Chains A and B, each alone.
Chain A
Amino acid sequence: MVRAVTSFGRSGLSDWLVQRVSGVILLAYFLFIGCNLIGGVDYIAWKALFAQTWVRVFSLMALLSLAAHAWIGIWAVLTDYLTERLMGTKGNVLRVALQLLVIVTIFVYVVWGVQILWGY
């Protein structure tokens, strides 16, 4: 058993499951957005689309999925390449700093996204 306190769900199985479920949600959302864009869209139609509560809920679901998906993916990349084994102590400093930067960025995007969805 390897301990990891910065992973999304603290469990490999949970991260694996969340990564797959969020991937399916994102695929569905991008197909939905693509279908709405394909015939061309104007401001009125776009505003009407996002005036519906279910579209906002679906969008929030996609936004949260993107946040979880991004964290799990980037966390795996950072813990692969920026490690004490490969880079010495510098690896630990870099990894924790980048993890912090990524999580702050994701947090800002989620809050900003909620503001966009319900603020207009």
Chain B
Amino acid sequence: MLKVSIYRYNPEVDDKPYMQDFDFDTQGKDLMVLDVLEQLKAQDTTITYRRSCREGVCGSDGLNMNGKNGLACITPLSATVKGNKLVLRPLPGLPVVRDLIVDMSMFYAQYEKVQPYLQNNSPAPAIERLQSPEDRAKLDGLYECILCACCSTSCPSFWWNPDRFIGPAGLLQSYRFLADSRDTATEERLAKLDDPFSVFRCHGIQNCVNVCPKGLNPTRAIGHIRNMLLSRAT
């Protein structure tokens, strides 16, 4: 029997959060963590979590599983269970709405700050803005982000300053538009990033790289932003 321990908190009923333990029979299968949650929810319908696509595309079910952030739907038990125990907690550092659901407002506010959309002030061409295959290749490893918040909520700098440090997810998207050959707002974008918090609270500990379920590298993107700032200001 697998011991599953789940963080429970319903602010309407509970004074404070507590851990609830369940015994779970995997019947010898290497299930995904989300499958375990689904079956437990069939027993106890009050267990609350977000989920949607169940295949690592939507980014809804970011959780802290045995101390490491990841997507429950694409994390097999074999990858996370140690000593027959599975501890499920909400993503760290964000306010808990209920059980495993966190309030992502601060995360989205930082995302909004980097203006994550193409800005181009030249007249629009008749058909489309063309991009060479080489320029398009610069966006690989950047555009795949699904905004699950696993990276930002594993980052201590984001825990302490979620209102001032943009965080790995936001900065990866920031660089996605800085690196885009069709975007003409590079200078304005960089000017907004020069303060001691937005980018420079990153101390390169690479927790973000360690947890990204899509295998992306925000630390490298942040390094690129720093180099762009450096070549612009020295």
Contact = CB atoms under 8 A, between A and B. Distances in A.
Interface of A: 1-4, 7, 11-17, 76, 79-81, 83, 85-86
A94 B84 CA distance: 45
A16 B226 contact: yes
B51 to A, nearest CB: 30
A88 B133 CA distance: 51
Contacts of B198: 1-2, 12
A60 to B, nearest CB: 24
B230 A13 contact: yes
B200 interface: yes
Interface string B188-202: 000111111111110
B230 A85 contact: no
Among all A-B residue pairs, the 3 with the closest Cβ atoms = A12-B200, A12-B196, A2-B197
Contacts of B160: 80-81, 83, 86
A81 B201 CA distance: 13
A90 B109 CA distance: 26
B195 A4 contact: yes
Contacts of A11: 194-196, 233
Contacts, number: 56
B26 to A, nearest CB: 40
Interface residues of B, number: 21
B194 A15 contact: no
Nearest to B190: A13
Given A1-B192, A11-B196, A12-B194, 10 more contacts: A2-B197, A4-B195, A11-B195, A11-B233, A12-B195, A13-B230, A14-B233, A76-B201, A83-B161, A85-B161
Given A16-B226, A17-B230, A3 B157 contact: no
A15 B192 contact: no
B2 interface: no
Contacts of A86: 160
B200 A16 contact: yes
A87 B191 CA distance: 31
Contacts of A12: 193-200
Nearest to B160: A80
Contact of B196 (A7, A83, A85): A7
B112 interface: no
Contacts of A81: 160
B226 A79 contact: no
B229 interface: yes
B164 A13 contact: no
Contacts of B196: 2, 4, 7, 11-12, 15, 76, 79
A62 B52 CA distance: 57
Contacts of B233: 11, 13-14
